[in-house]
Homo-oligomer: A and B are copies of this chain.
Amino acid sequence: MENRVAYQGIVGSFSSMAARALYGEDFTPIQTSRFRDIFEAIDQGNADYGVIPLENALAGSVHENYDLLQEYECYIVAEHFCPVHLHLMGHGTLASITRVLSHPKALEQCSRFLEIHPTITAVVCSDTAGAALQVARIKDPYSAAIASEEAATTYRLPIIQRSIQNHITNSTRFVAISKTPLQCASPTKCSVVVSLPHEPGSLYKLLGQIASLSLNLTKIESRPILGRPFEYSFHIDLECSPDLSSKLQEALVRIEEYASTFRLLGVYEARPAV
Contact = CB atoms under 8 A, between A and B. Distances in A.
A60 B223 contact: yes
Contacts of A200: 213-217
Contact of A63 (B60, B114, B220): B60
Contacts of A36: 115
Query: How many chain copies?
Result: 2
Contacts of A229: 272-274
B222 A219 contact: yes
A219 B223 CA distance: 8
Given A34-B115, A108-B104, A211-B204, A60 B61 contact: yes
A201 B61 CA distance: 23
A24 interface: no
Interface of A: 33-34, 36, 57-61, 63-64, 104, 107-108, 111, 114-115, 118, 121-124, 167-170, 200-201, 203-204, 207-208, 211, 213-224, 226-227, 229-230, 232, 234, 272-274
